[in-house]
């Protein structure tokens, strides 16, 4: 039975004939290669974080404070890394995080990511701020061999009719869950972007789901094709809603049959409020350090949130913010996550190789995760718990 870790053997065998990997196999290598091909504005948008980027660095430091304790002679020749989250089957506990405006990275944008995700069997979470209408991304998933699975991430706009329209479209298109991002009703102070005076959406990049939405277009005097500048300003005026409360989540719960998850939870009381509002799961996240400079590392928040969700009985816990390696995934699973969301690494893969580059990044991560699980003495996710780790 093949395992994801066998991917490294293929790389070594190719080396016999003098062939090296087509793309970097480390995060630092991916970032450096992406910097070479992206415009300064695009690289800053992807790589940057809020303020002095203290939170982004703290996210990584949090992983380094935990160490894996391997166990030996435990019969790991056969391994099963699969799991299920909110009714979606995953061959490994990895999903592709929603990242906006990736059309600045590669012209095929979300369609390339959809093909790569489907090829590896990993679900993609499509962002609201995509350059491709959600129906086209869903069609790309369905047409892939094998067919892929996707969730839809919602940035809740001020216009409730638009919010409901986006969710309804996602459900009709075949997306399997709705992920409501709670921590980005306004954009943080991001110096790298500000130095370039650059926000892709104000250039019309990443707002295809809005421009193709009937409720959004109903608020325009002329169509987006006739007056694109007015459409962009209309988007900017409604992007985030600071007036939202937990009661609004209950409103959404009544209007879709899809599982609802909330993204950005870092406090146990917010986890309890989300559960009371009827959500099916949550993503422990500080937006990869892109929203609050000096925020607590997301990994430090994970055990507390996982404990709250476990007490509720069946609330799913996912994690993002700082995932770079297979050992990172093991640590997140051990601290209570059922799955993780991968962000910047796959975007760098997209920049340097399109769908092929994304696929390379995913196969590298899957291989490293599989090898780390096995070398730690585990053959499934069931035995990866807090006892796997020691703190520094």
Q: Is residue 105 part of a domain?
A: yes
Q: Bridge-partner residues for 124, per DSSP?
A: 96, 150
What does the pLDDT read at residue 313?
87
pLDDT at 37 over 70: yes
Q: What would the pLDDT profile of 329-346 be if each residue is shown by its tens digit? A: 999 999 999 999 999 999
Least confident of 117-131, 137-151, 232-246: 137-151
Asked if residue 389 belongs to a domain, the reply is: no
Number of domains in the chain: 1
The predicted model scores a pTM of 0.96
Q: Where do we find the tokens 């300003």?
A: 233
At 87, phi and psi to the nearest 5?
85, 0
- pLDDT beyond 60 at 1: no
Does 387 fall in a domain?
Answer: no
| pLDDT, position 141 | 86
Print burial letters for 96-127: b (CB count within 10 Å at least 16), e (below 16): bbbbbbbbbbbebbbbbbbbbbbbbbbbbbbb
Q: What is residue 179's predicted lDDT score, i.e. its pLDDT? A: 98
| pLDDT average, residue stretch 63-69 | 98
Indicate whether 167 belongs to any domain. Answer: yes
pLDDT digits (tens, 9 = 90+) for 220-246: 999 999 999 999 999 999 999 999 999
In a domain, 245, yes or no: yes
Q: Which two tokens stand for residue 342?
A: 């991968």
| Euclidean distance between CA atoms 216 and 27, whole angstroms | 38
What are the residue numbers of the active site? 287
Q: Is 96 domain-assigned?
A: yes
Task: Show the domain range for 333.
Answer: 4-382
pLDDT in tens, 290-333: 999 999 999 999 999 999 999 998 899 999 999 999 999 999 99
At residue 86, does pLDDT exceed 80?
yes
> Is the pLDDT confidence value at 146 over 90?
no
Instruction: Determine the pLDDT at residue 142.
Output: 85
Q: What pLDDT is stored for residue 48 in this prediction?
A: 97
In a domain, 392, yes or no: no
Predicted confidence (pLDDT) at residue 113 exceeds the cutoff of 70: yes
The pLDDT, as a whole number, for residue 382 is 96
Residue 145 has a pLDDT of 73
Could you tell me the CATH number of the domain that includes residue 65? 3.20.20.70
Residue 390 counted as domain residue: no
By C-alpha distance, which of 265, 266, 108, 121 is closest to 179? Answer: 265
């Amino acid at each position: 039975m093949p395992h994801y870790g066998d991917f490294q053997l293929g790389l070594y065998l190719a080396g016999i004939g003098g062939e090296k990997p087509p793309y970097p196999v480390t995060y630092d290598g991916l970032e450096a290669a992406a910097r070479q091909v992206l415009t300064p504005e695009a690289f800053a948008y992807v790589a940057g974080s809020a303020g002095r980027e203290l939170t982004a660095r703290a996210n990584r430091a949090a992983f380094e404070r935990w160490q894996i304790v391997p166990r030996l002679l435990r019969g790991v020749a056969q391994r099963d890394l699969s799991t299920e989250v909110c009714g979606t089957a995953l061959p490994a506990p990895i999903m592709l995080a929603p990242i906006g405006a990736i059309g600045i990275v590669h012209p095929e944008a979300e369609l390339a990511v959809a093909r790569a995700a489907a090829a590896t069997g990993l679900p993609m979470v499509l962002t609201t701020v995509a350059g491709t209408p959600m129906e086209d991304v869903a069609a790309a998933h369905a047409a892939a061999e094998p067919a892929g699975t996707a969730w839809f991430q919602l940035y809740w706009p001020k216009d409730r009719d638009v919010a409901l329209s986006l969710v309804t479209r996602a459900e009709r298109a075949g997306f399997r869950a709705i992920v409501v991002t709670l921590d980005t009703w306004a954009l943080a102070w991001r110096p790298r972007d500000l130095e370039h005076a650059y926000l892709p959406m104000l250039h019309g990049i990443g707002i295809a789901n809005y421009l193709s939405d009937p409720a959004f277009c109903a608020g325009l005097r002329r169509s987006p094709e006739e007056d694109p500048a007015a459409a962009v300003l209309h988007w900017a005026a409604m992007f985030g809603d600071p007036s939202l409360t937990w009661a609004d989540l209950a409103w959404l719960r009544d209007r879709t049959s899809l599982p609802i998850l909330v993204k950005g939870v870092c406090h146990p009381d917010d986890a309890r409020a989300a559960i009371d509002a009827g959500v099916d799961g949550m993503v422990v996240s500080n937006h990869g350090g892109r929203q609050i400079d000096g925020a607590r590392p997301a990994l430090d928040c994970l055990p507390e949130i996982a404990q709250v969700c476990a007490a509720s009985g069946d609330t799913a816990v996912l994690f993002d913010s700082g995932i770079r390696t297979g050992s990172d995934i093991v640590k997140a699973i051990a601290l209570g996550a059922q799955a993780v969301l991968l962000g910047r690494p796959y975007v760098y893969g997209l920049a340097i190789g399109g769908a092929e580059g994304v696929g390379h990044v995913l196969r590298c991560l899957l291989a490293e995760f599989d090898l780390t699980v096995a070398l730690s003495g585990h053959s499934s996710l069931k035995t990866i718990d807090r006892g796997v780790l020691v703190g520094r």
